[in-house]
Chain A
């Protein structure tokens, strides 16, 4: 249980995908204007990231490694992710129309979200086992949702705030992200000691 907490805290706060690893910045700036869209996007990313971590783990260790094709991993992974996104879209449309309506427009965007391909590649490069791969995918998605959620609530307030004209819009969003990243650096490895 302690290890689970350590992985959760480590991925969500210490190595936050968006704020300390710079993965998924495009949706972070692009989609974070409204809270509704943030929840849709975040849930869709968690879903696809967990699934793709599972599938890429199996494909890598059961096909690419035995046949000595590991140098093709980039091509394989991006095709797997694109196919997975398509599959999820079809299943949701047929079986869970309410979820599809909520996530619908964000699903195609996920294929080009670098966090999803990033987590698959990081799992391989760090030699994670199956459980750790899935957990890092799941909590990676959560860390994305947390960053997006915080950002969107701040940006809603910024709309009303009186800020210099030059900083209106995107520039102040980046400054805000910088301050958030700074706050997240306060969470370092010493927090993990609490769970030992």
Chain B
């Protein structure tokens, strides 16, 4: 491959995860954390970054070790690598951001069984060099984090009319008092508690996927007509 080819390949590996093969909205991988931690934007951010860091390092390690791991035991080997990385991240977050660790609860250690990470190891890192693997991991990580942020923004804003970043040691942004919001002197009763309940996660994700499908249908229709 020439230099420009390599550059294009690297760029494609990076870009793929963000829109075209977005892990949460297109590939439907890693659904459990996508639904469980998106009650708050701060949780979504924490989960997205933690998963991205694990993904980057697991892709680096696996693309470096791919020639040494026998083909027959590759899946257990990957799982052990990923589990070690998750342990490190879990302990780091417990030490540095205990409130975030408590909020994410069991879903932080469950990054081990997040299909995105094992999926990228199997589908990309074990066939590619280090640089494209890193770019692929960063792209997928950004795609995953963005998806979580979109869901969490909708759910937290409509569900409680405020953004609570206290778990990250930051501030709270409030849009209304007593779950009311005032626009042009009109009080609107806002906080839709249902969106922060488990049911709300399913609804919001279902509607986002329907919008995506409607857009695709329209695009395909235009192409044919």
Contacts and interface: CB of A to CB of B under 8 A. Distances in A.
B130 interface: no
Nearest to A28: B31
A20 B35 CA distance: 10
Contacts of A78: 79-80, 83, 112-113
B110 A117 contact: yes
A174 B205 contact: yes
A29 B28 contact: yes
A118 B36 CA distance: 13
Contacts of B123: none
A194 interface: no
Interface of A is mostly: helix
Given A26-B29, A74-B112, A118-B110, A112 B213 contact: no
Contact of A22 (B28, B194, B201): B201
A121 to B, nearest CB: 5
A71 B202 contact: no
Interface in A18-59: 19-26, 29-30
B115 interface: yes
A80 to B, nearest CB: 11
Contacts, number: 124
Interface stretch (B42-50, B58-66, B85-93, B174-182): B85-93
A75 B83 contact: yes
Contacts of B109: 74, 117, 121
B86 A74 contact: yes
A78 B79 CA distance: 8
A170 interface: yes
Nearest to B119: A112
B214 A114 contact: no
Interface in B166-225: 194, 197-203, 205-207, 209-211, 213-214, 217
Contacts of B33: 22
A181 B202 contact: yes
Nearest to B221: A165
A79 B110 CA distance: 14
Interface of A: 19-26, 29-30, 71-72, 74-75, 78-79, 82, 111-114, 117-118, 121-122, 125, 164-175, 177-179, 181-182, 185
